[in-house]
Amino acid sequence: MPMISITRLRVRSWVYLPAFFFQALRINKQAAAAEGNLAVRLLRDNGNTFWTATSWSSHASMKAFIIAKPHGPVMRKLMNWCDEASLVHWEQAEAELPTWTEAHRRLEQEGRLSKVNFPSSAHTAHKYPAPTASRASERRVK
């Protein structure tokens, strides 16, 4: 059964955006080429917030991507770069990625917080504004 992974990151200061963008480009390329990756969709949201939605052929392929370079080492930097970070994974029958509305619902109801060194009040409460998707802000990588 395909695995779906949703992440939401909020970069806490414009100071970290250049490094974040550089690493995000590398990781997007990695994800698109990763064994077992079925789909990748990205969303640039308001307030330096970024969403990812990925579909994987198995939990093992998703896990291999998570720990591999560049993704694995960059995730540790997010503790300082971000003041909000959360994720959710689930299995479903089809490989199709959910809508951003469904991703938001699942993230708040079933997701977990990632460790950040400077958590916002929204991070602590695990309550986030719904994403605002538009053609200009969304990108399908694969």
Peptide bond preceding 70 in cis form (omega within 30 of 0):
yes
Res. 92 pLDDT band, cuts 50 70 90: very high
Res. 141 pLDDT band, cuts 50 70 90: confident
Return the CATH number at 79: 3.30.70.100
pLDDT for 142 equals 77
The 3-state DSSP class for residue 5 equals: strand
Closest CA to 20 of 63, 132, 123, 28: 28
Q: Domain range holding 118?
A: 3-140
Distances (CA, A) of 58 to 5, 42, 102: 11, 20, 21
Reported as a single tens digit per residue, the pLDDT across 14-68 is 999 999 999 999 999 999 999 999 999 999 999 999 999 999 999 999 999 999 9
The 3-state DSSP class for residue 51 equals: strand
Number of structural domains in the chain: 1
Reported as a single tens digit per residue, the pLDDT across 99-139 is 999 999 999 999 999 999 999 999 999 999 999 877 768 88
Helix (H) or strand (E) holding 134: none
